[in-house]
Amino acid sequence: MIVAPPVAIAEAPSLPIASLRLQRARGEARVTVRRERGGNRLDQLRQSGSAKVRLPRIADTAPLEAILLNTAGGVTGGDRLNYAVSVGAAAAAVVSSQAAERAYRSSGGVARIDTRLEVGAGGRLEWLPQETILYERSALHRRLEADVAGSATLLAAEAVLLGRAAMGERLHDIVFDDIWRIRRDGVLVFAEGTRLDGDAVAGMAGKATGGGAGAFATVVMVSPDAAARLDAAREILAEGGCEAGASAWNGLLVARILAPGGQALRTSLTRLLEMLRDAAMPRVWNC
């Protein structure tokens, strides 16, 4: 019997995790809606990477409904998502998300979600994604830019949950930037930025910041009749059991909600949005 000499196997050098090239998610979704023959029609649709769009069947005369999906399951450092929605003259659309977006712990870098909205003359767009959940050591930069015609309506809402309450998670090391820029007829009418950097628990503890809230939401309505909704908005917010308020000026209504957790926030936010849109929330919100 012939025995072959042993073959030496070289061990692969161990590399620190930081030096590995980790795969990053990239996604882009663009939806364009037009008005045609008394209905709202899909004009253009583009989707690539982890960003997908689903279009439920709806009544012919109802606003076109689009549901965004991130097949990556969430975002982490280095991920990039881009969303764009354009609603033509006299058209209407409702855009939501299949589930809450999750910002996971980052091993390096910052995730980015950029949203671009356009609403033509007499058009209506409702931007109603479900909540964004921030995990401990997550890093997320989010930006929303909108151009709205003077006779058009934009209803936009964004909600944020600080950690996973069911797990008792508390956020002591995160980066979160949220930037809004809204223009009407080319003129900037709403601009703000929210930043949480480091210990979110401490940052939200102050009476002038979050009053210890674990969740918050911003709602902006740009519409010629926005001010007419103010009294009803304040009444609903006063009954919601959360720290909340609303103001209206120059065709703009802005509401803010601070809540101890996600369930209280969703309850108050849902009641407000249903009043502002004169309709129940998209079905996906109840799935």
Mean pLDDT score of the chain:
92
Question: Is residue 71 within 8 Å of residue 16, measured between CB atoms?
Answer: no
Q: DSSP label at 201? A: H
CA distances from 199 to 138, 167, 172, 174, 214 (A): 12, 18, 4, 7, 13
**Side chain identity, residue 121:** A
Question: Domain ranges in the chain?
Answer: 25-210
pLDDT digits 0-9 by tens, 38-63: 899 999 999 999 999 999 988 878 99
pLDDT digits 0-9 by tens, 240-287: 889 999 999 999 999 999 999 999 999 999 999 999 999 999 999 987
